[in-house]
Structure 1
Amino acid sequence: MNEWDGSENDLVEQAVRALRSLLGDDWQVAETTAPGAGSQRSFFDARLTITPPDRDRLTEVLVSAHRSMTPRSAQRDVGLIQEILGQTSSPPNLLVVAPWLSPRTQDELRARGAGYLDLTGNVDWSVSVPSIRIFTRGAAKAPRQSAAGVKTVTLAGPRAGRIVRFLTDFEPPYRATEIAEETGASLPWVSRLLGQLEDQLLIGRDGRTIVRTDWEGLLRARAETYSLLRHNPFVGMVSPTGPEAVLRALRELGPRTSGIAVTGPFAARAIAPSTTGGQLMFYVDAGPHAPDAWAGKLGLLRAEGDADVLFLRAHDDIVFSRARLVDGVPHVAPTQLVIDGLGGPGRMPAEAEAVLKSLAADTGSWRLPWHKGSLA
């Protein structure tokens, strides 16, 4: 996200203006002096007094301003602030303000009983006396990074896709050096990405060793950067005898089925039957002639519209990693299936949610301890 180029005081001023707008002209929001002495001074950037229209009961709010905040810093810093406030006889309300707060950071703040406000419009703040409840949604994704901002790595692109598959397919422990070697990404880039994933509480480390991964959170975060049909150029086909006949033809090819794998609705139903219909989707090699070569083997015809079979030219060979045979037909790994479904059109996200639920109920059937060469 953009680096905040102002001071904490500038951030507080904008937050106060936002509060005044949300509460309306009849309410008074007054900023007073620094919130006290001692250990509290370093934690709070402003003290606000909120007065309702009847001027009867007012409340005091302590503001903690942050140029940026991650789930990890929310867990660490806000947890400490709340611990300090909890030692007082009548703890004041806490309001965390920042330029932007990710959904995961918002969750961490709510879990710790802290109100928050960001400058994109994400607000969740409650006061019992006088009665105030404000909840609004702003930007779900970070504002575009400015040219002068600090460059960050993201979960977009093939390199990140390989690392997410590693972290979700295999139980830790493992280290950055092992991830880099297994995925073919450079160690400095892997280290930077892992640092950001740790800030997002998507992984946990003991020293340099990863000991915990939030596999579901990682799959969801990857899917936010990924579009199945945009990132994998596709060719539509028609099967004169229907999709089931295509699967039978593929099964009969036997050992010649490398370089192809089922994803999408048909693969989702093999794990979590929840819907019927949908297109039969195959990943194939990225070569320009791969779709037509497979069409010839499987008795398919090119279609300009109303295709019932799609051949997706794989954006990266990782989509074939850990493919599994289902009734003699290769299917993508469950983790790849979830990413594809969450990043797919129509009913595919709902089907992916059903697959996620099934995977969470039995991680031992698909998530294995890591050893060298496991990702192949």
Structure 2
Amino acid sequence: MDTSAHAGEQALLEQGQASLQHLLGPEWEVTLQPEQSLGGDHRWDAMLQIKSRDGVYVQMLVEVKQKVTPKEAAGILNSTAQLVRRVNQYTRLMVIAPWISPMTQDALRSSEIDYLDLTGNVSLRVSRPAIVIHTQGADRAPAGHRSPTSKPLLTGLRAGRLVRLLADVAPPYRATELAHRAELSLPYVSRLLDTLEDQLLIQREGRLIVSVNWQGLLRARARQTDLLRTTDPTGMIAPNGVKAVLTQLANMPPDYRHEVFVTGSYAARSFAPVSVGGQLMLYVQEHPENVERVAGELGLMPVPEGADVLLLKARDRSVWQRPMESAGVWQVGLSQLAVDCLSGPGRMPAEGVKVLEFMVEHEHVWRKTDLSLSGEPTLS
């Protein structure tokens, strides 16, 4: 092992040991076993011993990782954990890392692997002595955690376009087909698909994508975006009320209806009624004059605060793809709505969860069976 890398992992191990000691408190003793030092020829990196004041202890075999993916958690780490349990049912495997993503945490828990990261994400379940710890830290990677050579993340306009296509159309299909339909470069699509495979969001057989975890995909996209930050909203007041705006939209000429799409709480309420009220969110094309034009046509007035209508700028054409109609008003497609709500403020994430539940129950209705259908509305 490179000397600097070894030093980095040793420092990470010691920080993890100190964090665990702090969590458990003075009634417990957390020690690094010297005979199991970092860099040995065994299948784990180190061994920690957790000992209670009355002398009962458990040994934790530790994997120190600068980065760990769901694929590793479900693969090699799961195999190691199973081996450890076969040798001694009371010995546990723990992963220590600078940061562990929510999806990786889920995969580790499914494999009955304990974990600790330096942002405060901790899961530890020991039956003897009895220890149960579960704390939540950062759900996004801290600044500097991602290296410049990392594979692309689920941020940005291009990623959003591919995410929606993967969610809206059931496989099988290939990267070349996705790149053509999404009008993205094949190298970019291939790199992003590699990332999604590492995150267990897709499964491939050779070059063929055979399965997409569309729920996890939409949740992951929402975690890495922010609706209000990415759409540059303009606050408006509707003098005659929000219901009057919706009625006006329903009565607009057919061509105009496709220039303004409803998203957020009012769109979610069509499929997953959770609450009443809230701001009416409308997508418009990303041109400054469109905000003024739409506001004028709908009788909206700009206000610095207290807005009951937000005009959002659609920065990518994927926002307009596969829309749906409700009560004569056009809304964004279900996958776009789910991401918008999950990444929105206030009670919107709860509404996003309800939208996902609706999508699960009605997947056979909204999800397309072939990429050739990707230009059709979500619901018709």
- Normalised to the residue count of structure 1, the TM-score between the two structures is 0.89
Deviations for 1:178-237, whole angstroms, at most 9, x for unmatched residues? Answer: 111122222111111111111111111111111111111111111122222221123333
Deviation at 1:90, TM superposition (A): 4.4
| C-alpha distance in structure 1 between counterparts of 2:279 and 2:137, whole Å | 35
The residue identity in structure 1 corresponding to 2:124 is: W
Q: 1:2-151, aligned counterparts within 5 Å? A: 6=7, 8-25=9-26, 27-28=28-29, 29-34=31-36, 41-54=41-54, 56-88=55-87, 90-145=89-144, 149-151=148-150
Deviations for 1:64-104, whole angstroms, at most 9, x for unmatched residues? Answer: 22232111100001221122223336452222222221121
The residue identity in structure 2 corresponding to 1:108 is: A
Deviation at 1:147, TM superposition (A): 8.8
- Change in 2 beyond 3 A, CA 1:375/1:203: farther
8 A contact 1:182–1:375 mirrored in 2: no
Match of 2:337 in 1: 337
Match of 1:348 in 2: 348
Deviation at 1:148, TM superposition (A): 6.3
Q: 1:210-359, aligned counterparts within 5 Å? A: 210-257=209-256, 258-359=258-359
| C-alpha distance in structure 2 between counterparts of 1:95 and 1:76, whole Å | 15
8 A contact 1:4–1:68 mirrored in 2: no
Deviations for 1:342-372, whole angstroms, at most 9, x for unmatched residues? Answer: 1222222222222111111111111111223
| C-alpha distance in structure 2 between counterparts of 1:110 and 1:347, whole Å | 28
- Change in 2 beyond 3 A, CA 1:89/1:355: closer
The alignment partner of 1:368 has SS state of coil
Deviations for 1:315-351, whole angstroms, at most 9, x for unmatched residues? Answer: 2121111112222221110111111111222222222
| C-alpha distance in structure 2 between counterparts of 1:121 and 1:261, whole Å | 40
| C-alpha distance in structure 1 between counterparts of 2:99 and 2:233, whole Å | 36
The residue identity in structure 2 corresponding to 1:12 is: L
The residue identity in structure 2 corresponding to 1:348 is: M
| C-alpha distance in structure 2 between counterparts of 1:146 and 1:66, whole Å | 12
8 A contact 1:34–1:41 mirrored in 2: no
Match of 1:183 in 2: 182
Match of 2:361 in 1: 361
- Normalised to the residue count of structure 2, the TM-score between the two structures is 0.88
User: Which deviates more, 340-349 or 209-218?
Assistant: 340-349
The alignment partner of 2:372 has SS state of coil
The number of aligned residues is 369
Deviation at 1:306, TM superposition (A): 2.9
The alignment partner of 1:18 has SS state of helix
The residue identity in structure 2 corresponding to 1:227 is: D
| C-alpha distance in structure 2 between counterparts of 1:275 and 1:161, whole Å | 27
The alignment partner of 1:113 has SS state of coil
- Change in 2 beyond 3 A, CA 1:275/1:71: same
Deviation at 1:143, TM superposition (A): 2.2
Alignment gaps of 5+ in structure 2: none
Backbone CA RMSD of aligned residues = 2.5
| C-alpha distance in structure 2 between counterparts of 1:46 and 1:199, whole Å | 25
| C-alpha distance in structure 2 between counterparts of 1:137 and 1:236, whole Å | 34
User: Which deviates more, 179-188 or 85-94?
Assistant: 85-94
8 A contact 1:50–1:59 mirrored in 2: yes
The residue identity in structure 2 corresponding to 1:92 is: T
| C-alpha distance in structure 2 between counterparts of 1:157 and 1:168, whole Å | 17
Alignment gaps of 5+ in structure 1: none
| C-alpha distance in structure 1 between counterparts of 2:298 and 2:91, whole Å | 69
| C-alpha distance in structure 1 between counterparts of 2:338 and 2:184, whole Å | 23
| C-alpha distance in structure 2 between counterparts of 1:323 and 1:90, whole Å | 53
The alignment partner of 2:13 has SS state of helix
| C-alpha distance in structure 2 between counterparts of 1:236 and 1:147, whole Å | 35
User: Which deviates more, 240-249 or 64-73?
Assistant: 240-249
| C-alpha distance in structure 2 between counterparts of 1:146 and 1:292, whole Å | 41
The residue identity in structure 1 corresponding to 2:254 is: P
